[in-house]
A and B are shown apart, each in its own frame.
Chain A
Amino acid sequence: MTRPTIELRPAHEPPGPRPKTLAEALVRPQFIALATVLLVNWLLFPGFFSITWQDGRLFGSLIDVLNRAAPVAILAIGMTAVIATKGVDLSVGAVMAIAGAVAAAMVVAGWPAGLAVAAALAVGLVCGLWNGVLVTLLDIQPIIATLVLMVAGRGLAQLVTEGSIVTFADPVLIFIGTGSVLGLPTPVAIALLLMTGAALLVRRTALGLLIEAVGVNRSAARFAGIRSSALLLVVYAFAGLCAAISGLIVAGDIRGADANNAGLWLELDAILAVVIGGTSLLGGRFSIPMSVVGALIIQAMNTGILISGFSPEFNLVVKSGVIITILILQSPLAASILQNRRMKRGRT
Chain B
Amino acid sequence: MALLKQLALGAGLAALLSTAAQAELTGKVIGFSQIGSESGWRAAETSVTKSEAEKRGVELKFADAQQKQENQIKAIRGFIAQGVDAILVAPVVSTGWDEVLTEAQEAGIPVVLLDRGIDASQDLYLTSVASDQVKEGRVAGEWLVSAVGGKPCNVVELQGTVGSSPAINRKQGFEEGIAGAANITLTRSQTGDFTRAKGKEVMEGFLKAEGGGASICAVYAHNDDMAVGAIQAIKDAGLKPGSDILVVSIDAVPDIFAAMVAGEANATVELTPNMAGPAFDALDAYLNDGTVPEKFIITESKLYTPADNPQGEYDSRKGLGY
Chain B 223-245 interface 0/1 with A at a Cβ cutoff of 8 Å (1 = within): 00100110010001110000000
Q: Is the CB of B40 within 8 A of A165?
A: yes
Chain B 156-176 interface 0/1 with A at a Cβ cutoff of 8 Å (1 = within): 000100100000000000000
Residues of B within 8 A of A55 (CB): 238
Looking at the complex, which one of B37, B188, B191, B209 makes contact with A158 (CB distance below 8 Å)? B37
Interface size on B, residues (CB 8 A): 38
Q: Is the CB of A258 within 8 A of B202?
A: no
Q: Is the CB of B209 within 8 A of A309?
A: yes
Docked complex: A289-311 residues within 8 A CB-CB of B: 302-303, 305-307, 309, 311
Chain B 10-22 interface 0/1 with A at a Cβ cutoff of 8 Å (1 = within): 0000000000000
Q: Is the CB of A311 within 8 A of B40?
A: no
Distance, CA A165 to CA B208, complexed state (A): 27
Chain A 168-187 interface 0/1 with B at a Cβ cutoff of 8 Å (1 = within): 00000000001000000000
Minimum CB distance partner of A61 in chain B: B208
CB distance from A85 to the nearest CB of B (A): 30
Distance, CA A306 to CA B190, complexed state (A): 7
Q: Is the CB of A255 within 8 A of B232?
A: yes
Q: Is the CB of B189 within 8 A of A311?
A: yes
State which of B76-84, B146-154, B193-201, B303-311 sits at the interface with chain A.
Answer: B193-201
Q: Is the CB of B197 within 8 A of A258?
A: yes
Minimum CB distance partner of B206 in chain A: A306
Residues of A within 8 A of B193 (CB): 261
A315-B162 CB under 8 A given contacts A163-B39, A164-B40, A165-B40: yes
Distance, CA A226 to CA B158, complexed state (A): 52
CB distance from B264 to the nearest CB of A (A): 12
Q: Is the CB of B195 within 8 A of A258?
A: yes
B204 interface contact, C-beta 8 A: yes
Looking at the complex, which one of B38, B43, B159, B232 makes contact with A178 (CB distance below 8 Å)? B232
Where chain B touches its partner, the secondary structure class is helix
Q: Is the CB of A260 within 8 A of B197?
A: no
Looking at the complex, which one of B40, B201, B321 makes contact with A68 (CB distance below 8 Å)? B201
Minimum CB distance partner of B39 in chain A: A260
Minimum CB distance partner of B203 in chain A: A306
Distance, CA A315 to CA B38, complexed state (A): 25
Distance, CA A271 to CA B229, complexed state (A): 26
Looking at the complex, which one of B200, B208, B211 makes contact with A254 (CB distance below 8 Å)? B200
Chain B 246-264 interface 0/1 with A at a Cβ cutoff of 8 Å (1 = within): 0000000001001000000
CB distance from B320 to the nearest CB of A (A): 9
Distance, CA A309 to CA B209, complexed state (A): 9
Residues of B within 8 A of A315 (CB): 162, 191
CB distance from A306 to the nearest CB of B (A): 3
A167-B208 CB under 8 A given contacts A261-B195, A306-B201: no
B42 interface contact, C-beta 8 A: yes
Docked complex: A30-70 residues within 8 A CB-CB of B: 45, 47, 54-55, 59-61, 64, 68
Q: Is the CB of B197 within 8 A of A262?
A: yes
Looking at the complex, which one of B38, B162, B258 makes contact with A260 (CB distance below 8 Å)? B38
Q: Is the CB of B255 within 8 A of A165?
A: yes
Chain A 228-259 interface 0/1 with B at a Cβ cutoff of 8 Å (1 = within): 00000000000000000000001001111010
Distance, CA A54 to CA B190, complexed state (A): 26
Residues of A within 8 A of B162 (CB): 312-313, 315
B312 interface contact, C-beta 8 A: no
CB within 8 Å: A-B pair count: 91
Residues of B within 8 A of A307 (CB): 205-206, 208-209
Residues of A within 8 A of B201 (CB): 68, 302, 306
Distance, CA A254 to CA B200, complexed state (A): 8
CB distance from A189 to the nearest CB of B (A): 16
A254-B205 CB under 8 A given contacts A54-B238, A163-B43, A178-B236: no
Minimum CB distance partner of A55 in chain B: B238
Looking at the complex, which one of B196, B208, B232, B255 makes contact with A47 (CB distance below 8 Å)? B208
Chain B 104-126 interface 0/1 with A at a Cβ cutoff of 8 Å (1 = within): 00000000000000000000000
B62 interface contact, C-beta 8 A: no
Looking at the complex, which one of A61, A165, A253 makes contact with B225 (CB distance below 8 Å)? A165
Q: Is the CB of A163 within 8 A of B238?
A: no
A162 interface contact, C-beta 8 A: yes
Residues of A within 8 A of B97 (CB): none
Minimum CB distance partner of B66 in chain A: A155
Residues of A within 8 A of B321 (CB): 162-164
Minimum CB distance partner of A251 in chain B: B197
Most chain B Cβ neighbours within 10 Å, of A68, A165, A313: A165
Distance, CA A70 to CA B194, complexed state (A): 21
Residues of B within 8 A of A47 (CB): 208-209, 211
A312-B197 CB under 8 A given contacts A45-B209, A158-B37: no
Minimum CB distance partner of B36 in chain A: A163
CB distance from A63 to the nearest CB of B (A): 10
Given contacts A64-B208, A165-B196, could you give 15 more A-B pairs where the C-beta distance is less than 8 Å? A47-B209, A59-B237, A60-B208, A163-B42, A163-B321, A164-B43, A164-B321, A165-B255, A253-B200, A254-B200, A261-B193, A261-B198, A306-B206, A309-B188, A312-B162
Closest 5 pairs between A and B when the two form their complex, measured CB to CB: A306-B205, A312-B191, A164-B40, A261-B195, A163-B37
Q: Which B positions have Cβ atoms within 8 angstroms of A?
A: 37-40, 42-43, 159, 162, 188-191, 193-198, 200-202, 204-206, 208-209, 211, 225, 228-229, 232, 236-238, 255, 258, 321-322
Q: List 30 A-B contacts (CB under 8 A).
A: A45-B208, A47-B211, A54-B238, A68-B201, A163-B43, A163-B321, A164-B322, A165-B196, A165-B255, A165-B322, A253-B197, A253-B232, A254-B197, A254-B232, A255-B232, A258-B196, A258-B197, A258-B225, A260-B38, A261-B197, A261-B198, A305-B190, A306-B190, A306-B206, A309-B188, A309-B209, A311-B189, A312-B189, A313-B162, A315-B162
